[in-house]
Amino acid sequence: MIIFPAIDIKNNKCVRLIKGDFNKMTSYDNSPFDQAKMFFKSGFKNIHIVDLDGALHGKSTNSNIVKEILKNFNLKIQIGGGIRTINDVDNWVKNGADKVILGTAAVENTDLLKTACKKFKNKIAVSLDARDGFISLSGWKKQTNISTFEFVKKIENFGISRIIYTDINKDGIKKGPNIKDTVELSSKVKIPFVISGGISSIEDIKKIRSLNNSNIEGVIVGRAIYDGDIKINELAKYI
């Protein structure tokens, strides 16, 4: 199972949100670059990075920071936030991103998603952020009536490399992830799933690792690291 420490970037800083609410945002002292360096030195090979400014405004605004991380560390980075066009995807692939995450663009333009998967094989991840079973878009600001399950079935055969599933109601509150719904959803398709949102302790990591479900590829850990609930050196034992 892959463990993805998370770096969310807003205004050039590492931040975490609570339930996707930008009014409930915590900024941290470490720069995104220094945070990536810390993860790298601790032995992590995969990092999940989101440009929150990009997600909000529809175009990447922190790309230079991410490109510096890509250039300086031998890491597999999955990058999302503000990626809306084939040219955006192409740019990130050329800069060395392991996976390029489409969220809002994937839902609003399935033709773009299909084209991206065809052109960039095994490079496209889809981020599905759900609130009560329905997809939210644009940095979680826009709530849709699109069923997460129905959308997953619709894109099942596009050639997506992984789905990152976030339960917004769990995100940032450190009360444990929504394992039940993630596992249930992942069992409906053959696309690998990554659990995101609500990881609170090493016990959550152990619980996910013990799942008898080959479709759960990994887990994203964010706020619990930054607030010190999970120590990086302890988490590194489960890489």
Determine the angle formed by the axes of helices 86-94 and 110-119, rounding to 10 degrees. Answer: 30
Report the DSSP beta bridge partners of residue 135.
Answer: 130
Q: Is 129 a catalytic residue?
A: yes
HSE value, Cβ hemisphere, 13 Å, CA-based, for 71: 7
Q: Which of 8, 51, 88, 171 is catalytic?
A: 8
Torsions phi, psi for 170 (to 5 deg): -100, -20
Distance (Å, rounded) from C-alpha 38 to C-alpha 35? 5
Reading the block at residue 28, the tokens are 């941290």
Q: Which of 53, 88, 129, 167 is catalytic?
A: 129
- Kindly tell me the burial class for residue 138, based on how many C-beta atoms sit within 10 Å of its own C-beta (0-12, 13-18, 19 or more): middle
Report the DSSP beta bridge partners of residue 134.
Answer: 131, 147
∠ CA 8-170-29, nearest 5°, is 30
Q: Is 88 a catalytic residue?
A: no
Q: So which residues are the catalytic ones?
A: 8, 129
